[in-house]
């Protein structure tokens, strides 16, 4: 049976799929609640159902798999919980685009049929990423695969929503929110990406109502919104304007007069002209100022961010102006307004101005502040415990440098807008009685079947559809059409996937989870909210450690994106260099505090490393005898003792590094030891001893070779699972071990292997011995002190 004939170069294609199937068929990935080991659990950051594997996923999931495989080999009851996210807007957009290509639309289909269509799509082409994760070697417990729209998870969502509502931590109200005019839905603050943009600052003269010869000049970046102004603010202590407070200005282009108010919060005397227009319905600051001064809110934009004719009428805009700008998108209306002001001599100046423009993180459309009835989570009562949990170390952020970021953000956190005006997602469990709330339920302006539920409507929030109205007893309801922010269900992920709200054995065993591995980009979207929800509903933190890894960038340090054409596709990397090479590369580059600039050369280098190991295996297999080795134990030779001492050091370093999430250091230690110590020196040094195959020395050396190499393979396995398994299976160890490397014990450091004297002697020798060949004669001396290397099986490093 041995030596086995192996090819000169390692060919991952021959290997990977075979072993992955082997592992799954034997159920090695399955974590049982009955397992005697101490639980170790990780929930996967659920990839979008629309997603396909990009390099960031590859990094994120490789690291998780390393942790899981390491812990599993240590004897822990290791669960890696896999799943997918329904990804509300992203998924809806995908299917909607298909419909449009077919000449249809979601409106034409209607809500139910549209949702059915998405499920259909999901069944057919959703979740390709899961197959790709398998190629990566991910040892997830696939039996437990969850989806955020599962019945179980939906139940958790309803439970949380209803309980928060009943406690007054969820409310509905008309507020100014971030609105995407393309997606036609509300967004939360963190779904808006700010981008520095060159804009203009327009200085506009507003004539005083009682003295048209005098003007107040305001500065604005958005002149078109002036049509919705309901006041002008100045600083109450500003001597230039103090006397004007309380008087009115005539708002140009309209027939309205609006008051001049004093507002020290809104107005910075130094900026612009020291006078600010107030447009409460279309600007966040102005909204708040409007509340302070009890100003009306005039909404002049429609949901598409076009000038709304009805709104303009209400705002008493002059008819010729209405005719000119109605139904124009804001960007097109702006020059018209600018021109109108200019022709009346009211435009004093236009200067360049830098500003941050908010864009939708999905569609990249410019986001509008928009007044509409929405649902909110009152966040402060949830944030406080989440702040404390990090402050007192119950949740540890790694690297800890992010802790301050987290705390800073959490202390400034604002209420979370959780309603979205889309169809795909968890529909809000709120109903309205048609008979007693009829005044608050308005038919939609566009004449469609839909309707608008004003903020005055009184919702009935319930886990299931209500049977009768508690107020009037009738049973004619409409359900709130909104769905929840995708991140609402994600926030429950660590416990909803384990069966909560039921007290399942899985929940009791694996919650709180041990480690969360995530990128910085979703620290606030996701991590912070999981901590808040976890503490609120389970009374415990959702995870102990949060390992935050870097972003993967291209060789120029640019964020990878399809539009830039600079993506490194992990799938083609795996095709070309093998999964193990990719995994090892990502591990080696995962040093904290720096983004990863991935280059193909680096991957190639670790492909070579895999090949090096492969050839070391060939060398060992070529030297083995067909018969079993039955030589009596003998003390190891000088070279053996040196190698064992170094191996022991590598074992310590790898374990310590993994313990601290220093994947880069673990990879470095493995690389150094295996290549430059084990291969470059040890394998060379023992060659003479192997020459006389019949000799006792050769027999002992062979045994030492197999033993040490087997340990190396176990040490390597979390990083290069496929290669290590392939080689391990070829080694003649079956009589002693079970059938897969991945359930073998992970090496632990063995103090009796440490031998500082030998190491020092070796260092001195190699300083004067420039070639391996010369070193050989010196180092292959007979053994010095006795070492019980083989011992009996009890002494193996199998014990926990």
Partner RNA sequence: GGGCGGAUAGCUCAGCCGGGAGAGCGCUGCCCUUACAAGGCAGAGGUCACAGGUUCGAUCCCUGUUCCGCCUACCA
Q: Which of residues 295-354 bind RNA (CB under 7 A)?
A: 353
CA angle 380, 385, 387 (to 5 degrees): 85
Stretch that binds RNA, among 72-80, 111-119, 134-142, 402-410 (CB under 7 A): 402-410
Q: What is the 8-class DSSP label of residue 674?
A: I
DSSP string covering 298-359 = ---B-TTSBB-HHHHHHTTB-HHHHHHHTT-BHHHHHHHHHHHHHHTT-EEEEEEEEEEEEE
3-state secondary structure of 419: strand
CA dist 363 → 150, 180, 307, 490 (Å): 27, 8, 21, 21
Stretch that binds RNA, among 29-37, 278-286, 435-443, 785-793 (CB under 7 A): 278-286
Residues 676-705 that bind RNA (CB under 7 A): 676, 679-680, 683-684, 687
Stretch that binds RNA, among 88-96, 149-157, 504-512, 600-608 (CB under 7 A): 600-608
274 binds RNA (CB under 7 A): yes
| The only residue of 42, 78, 89, 276 in contact with RNA, by rule CB under 7 A | 276
Minimal distance, residue 192 CB to RNA, in Å = 8
Q: What is the 8-class DSSP label of residue 636?
A: P
| The only residue of 277, 426, 583, 700 in contact with RNA, by rule CB under 7 A | 277
Stretch that binds RNA, among 26-34, 43-51, 592-600, 634-642 (CB under 7 A): 592-600
Q: Based on CB atoms, which residue is closest to RNA, 109 or 520?
A: 520
Minimal distance, residue 48 CB to RNA, in Å = 18
Q: Based on CB atoms, which residue is closest to RNA, 460 or 596?
A: 596
Residues 171-210 that bind RNA (CB under 7 A): 189-190, 194, 196, 201
Minimal distance, residue 260 CB to RNA, in Å = 14
Would you call the peptide bond into 399 cis, given omega within 30 degrees of 0 as the criterion? yes
| The only residue of 401, 470, 505, 633 in contact with RNA, by rule CB under 7 A | 401
Q: Based on CB atoms, which residue is closest to RNA, 680 or 692?
A: 680
HSE toward the beta carbon, residue 131, CA cutoff 13 A = 7
Q: Based on CB atoms, which residue is closest to RNA, 89 or 617?
A: 617
Minimal distance, residue 397 CB to RNA, in Å = 12
Residues 508-547 that bind RNA (CB under 7 A): 520-521, 524
DSSP string covering 449-474 = S-EEE-TT---EE-SS--SS-TTT--
Report CA 617 to chain centroid distance, whole Å.
Answer: 39
Minimal distance, residue 529 CB to RNA, in Å = 13
Residues 768-787 that bind RNA (CB under 7 A): 770-772
Find out whether 659 and 678 touch, Cβ atoms under 8 Å: no
Tell me the two tokens of residue 789.
């290397």
Nearest to 229, CA basis, from 207, 199, 200, 259: 259
- Per-residue contact string for residues 119-158; x = within reach of RNA by CB under 7 A: ----------------------------------------
Stretch that binds RNA, among 119-127, 302-310, 452-460, 608-616 (CB under 7 A): 608-616
| The only residue of 104, 452, 504, 615 in contact with RNA, by rule CB under 7 A | 615
Q: What is the 8-class DSSP label of residue 556?
A: T
Minimal distance, residue 636 CB to RNA, in Å = 19
Stretch that binds RNA, among 112-120, 122-130, 530-538, 764-772 (CB under 7 A): 764-772
Nearest to 720, CA basis, from 16, 9, 163, 42: 16
State the sign of the Cα–Cα–Cα–Cα dihedral 491, 497, 502, 505: negative
Find out whether 253 and 321 touch, Cβ atoms under 8 Å: yes
CA distance 61 to 65: 6
CA distance 60 to 633: 45
Instruction: Give the torsion through C-alpha atoms of 510, 513, 517, 520, to 10 deg.
Output: 150
Q: Based on CB atoms, which residue is closest to RNA, 623 or 648?
A: 623
Find out whether 267 and 277 touch, Cβ atoms under 8 Å: no
Find out whether 437 and 458 touch, Cβ atoms under 8 Å: yes
267 binds RNA (CB under 7 A): yes
| The only residue of 622, 696, 760, 764 in contact with RNA, by rule CB under 7 A | 622
Tell me the two tokens of residue 48.
């979008």
3-state secondary structure of 261: strand
Find out whether 100 and 93 touch, Cβ atoms under 8 Å: no
Minimal distance, residue 360 CB to RNA, in Å = 14
Residues 438-497 that bind RNA (CB under 7 A): none
Stretch that binds RNA, among 311-319, 477-485, 609-617, 692-700 (CB under 7 A): 609-617
CA distance 510 to 494: 9
Minimal distance, residue 650 CB to RNA, in Å = 15
Helices 600-623 and 579-589: crossing angle, nearest 10°?
Answer: 120
Using CB under 7 A as the binding criterion, the count of chain residues that bind RNA stands at: 77
CA distance 428 to 158: 8
| The only residue of 42, 68, 232, 616 in contact with RNA, by rule CB under 7 A | 616
Stretch that binds RNA, among 272-280, 305-313, 701-709, 723-731 (CB under 7 A): 272-280
| The only residue of 608, 652, 740, 798 in contact with RNA, by rule CB under 7 A | 608
Minimal distance, residue 338 CB to RNA, in Å = 15
283 binds RNA (CB under 7 A): yes
CA dist 354 → 52, 112, 198, 688 (Å): 37, 45, 5, 74
Length of the chain: 800
Q: Based on CB atoms, which residue is closest to RNA, 331 or 555?
A: 555
Minimal distance, residue 104 CB to RNA, in Å = 36
Find out whether 671 and 581 touch, Cβ atoms under 8 Å: no
- Per-residue contact string for residues 657-676; x = within reach of RNA by CB under 7 A: -------xx--x------xx
Residues 557-586 that bind RNA (CB under 7 A): 557, 559
Q: Based on CB atoms, which residue is closest to RNA, 262 or 272?
A: 272
Find out whether 231 and 261 touch, Cβ atoms under 8 Å: yes
Q: Based on CB atoms, which residue is closest to RNA, 143 or 521?
A: 521
Minimal distance, residue 609 CB to RNA, in Å = 8
| The only residue of 266, 422, 469, 541 in contact with RNA, by rule CB under 7 A | 266
Stretch that binds RNA, among 102-110, 333-341, 445-453, 616-624 (CB under 7 A): 616-624
DSSP string covering 206-243 = EEBSS-TT-EEEEEES-GGGGGG--EEEE-TT-TTTGG
3-state secondary structure of 681: helix
Residues 4-33 that bind RNA (CB under 7 A): 8-10
3-state secondary structure of 580: helix
CA dist 93 → 51, 178, 188, 204, 471 (Å): 13, 19, 18, 40, 39
- Per-residue contact string for residues 213-252; x = within reach of RNA by CB under 7 A: ------xxxx------------------------------
Minimal distance, residue 464 CB to RNA, in Å = 37
Minimal distance, residue 307 CB to RNA, in Å = 18
Find out whether 63 and 587 touch, Cβ atoms under 8 Å: yes
What phi, psi does 162 have (nearest 5°)?
A: -65, -40
Tell me the two tokens of residue 595.
């983004």
| The only residue of 215, 284, 737, 790 in contact with RNA, by rule CB under 7 A | 284
Q: Based on CB atoms, which residue is closest to RNA, 245 or 520?
A: 520
């Amino acid at each position: 049976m041995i030596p086995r004939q192996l090819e000169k170069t390692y060919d991952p294609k021959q290997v990977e799929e075979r072993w992955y199937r082997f592992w799954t068929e034997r159920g090695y990935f399955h974590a049982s609640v009955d397992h005697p080991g101490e639980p170790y659990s990780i929930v996967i950051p659920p990839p979008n159902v629309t997603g396909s594997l990009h390099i960031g996923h590859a990094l994120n999931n490789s690291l998780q798999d390393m942790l899981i495989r390491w812990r599993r080999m240590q004897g822990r009851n290791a669960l890696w919980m896999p799943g997918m996210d329904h990804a509300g807007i992203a998924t809806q957009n995908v299917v909607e685009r298909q419909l449009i290509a077919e000449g249809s639309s979601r409106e034409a289909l209607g809500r139910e049929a549209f949702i059915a269509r998405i499920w259909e799509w999901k069944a057919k082409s959703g979740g390709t990423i899961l197959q790709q994760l398998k190629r990566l070697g991910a040892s997830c417990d696939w039996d437990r695969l969850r989806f955020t729209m599962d019945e179980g998870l939906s139940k958790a969502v309803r439970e949380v929503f209803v309980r928060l509502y009943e406690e007054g931590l969820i409310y509905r109200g008309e507020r100014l929110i971030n609105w995407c005019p393309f997606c036609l839905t509300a967004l939360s603050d963190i779904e808006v990406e700010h981008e520095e943009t060159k804009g203009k600052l327009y200085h506009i003269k507003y004539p005083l109502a009682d003295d048209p010869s005098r003007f107040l000049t305001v500065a604005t970046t958005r002149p078109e919104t002036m049509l919705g102004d309901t006041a002008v603010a100045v600083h109450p202590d500003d001597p230039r304007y103090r006397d004007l407070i309380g008087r009115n200005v005539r708002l140009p282009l309209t027939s309205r007069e609006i008051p001049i108010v004093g507002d020290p919060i809104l107005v910075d005397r130094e900026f612009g002209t020291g006078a600010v227009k107030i447009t409460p319905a279309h600007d966040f600051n102005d909204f708040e100022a409007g509340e302070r001064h009890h100003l009306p809110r005039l909404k002049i934009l429609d949901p598409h961010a076009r000038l709304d004719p009805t709104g303009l009428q209400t705002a008493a805009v002059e008819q010729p102006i209405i005719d000119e700008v109605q139904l124009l998108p804001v960007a097109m209306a702006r020059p018209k307004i600018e021109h109108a002001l200019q022709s009346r001599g009211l435009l004093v100046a236009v200067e360049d101005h830098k500003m941050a423009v908010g864009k939708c993180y999905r569609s990249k459309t410019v986001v509008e502040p928009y007044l509409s009835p929405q649902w909110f989570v009152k966040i402060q009562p949830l944030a406080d415990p989440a702040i404390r949990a990090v402050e007192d170390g119950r949740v540890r952020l790694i690297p800890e440098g992010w802790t301050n970021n987290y705390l800073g953000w959490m202390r400034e956190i604002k209420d979370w807008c959780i309603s979205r005006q889309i169809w795909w997602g968890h529909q809000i469990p709120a109903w309205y009685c048609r008979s007693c709330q009829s005044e608050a339920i308005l038919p939609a302006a566009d004449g469609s079947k839909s309707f608008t539920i004003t903020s005055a409507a009184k919702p009935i929030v319930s886990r299931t559809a209500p049977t009768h109205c508690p107020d009037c007893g009738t049973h004619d309801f409409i359900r709130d059409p909104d769905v929840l922010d995708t991140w609402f269900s994600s926030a429950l992920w660590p416990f909803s996937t384990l069966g909560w709200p039921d007290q399942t054995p899985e929940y009791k065993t694996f919650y709180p989870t041990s480690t969360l591995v995530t990128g910085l980009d979703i620290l606030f979207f996701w991590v912070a909210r999981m901590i808040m929800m976890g503490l609120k509903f389970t009374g415990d933190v959702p995870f102990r450690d949060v390992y935050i890894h870097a972003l993967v960038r291209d060789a120029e340090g640019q964020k990878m994106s399809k539009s830039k054409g600079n993506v490194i596709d992990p799938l083609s990397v795996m095709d070309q260099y093998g999964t193990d090479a990719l995994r090892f590369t990502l591990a080696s580059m995962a040093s904290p505090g720096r983004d990863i600039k991935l280059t193909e050369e680096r991957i190639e280098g670790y492909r070579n490393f895999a090949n090096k190991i492969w050839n070391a295996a060939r060398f060992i297999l070529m030297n083995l005898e067909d018969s079993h080795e039955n030589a009596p134990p003998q003390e190891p030779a000088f070279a053996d003792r040196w190698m064992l001492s170094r191996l022991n050091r590598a074992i310590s370093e790898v374990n310590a590094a993994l313990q601290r999430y220093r994947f880069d250091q673990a990879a470095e230690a493995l690389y150094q030891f295996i290549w430059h110590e084990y291969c470059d020196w040890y394998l060379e040094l023992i060659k003479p001893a192997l020459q006389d195959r019949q000799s006792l020395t050769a027999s002992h050396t062979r045994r030492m070779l197999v033993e040490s190499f087997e340990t190396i393979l176990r040490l390597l396995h979390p990083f290069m699972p496929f290669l290590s398994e392939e080689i391990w299976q070829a080694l003649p160890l079956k009589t002693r071990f079970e059938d897969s490397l991945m359930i073998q014990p992970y090496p632990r450091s063995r103090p009796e292997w440490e031998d500082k004297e030998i190491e020092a002697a070796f260092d001195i020798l190699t300083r004067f011995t420039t070639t391996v060949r010369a070193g050989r004669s010196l180092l292959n001396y007979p053994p010095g002190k006795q070492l019980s290397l083989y011992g009996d099986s009890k002494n193996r490093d199998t014990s926990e």
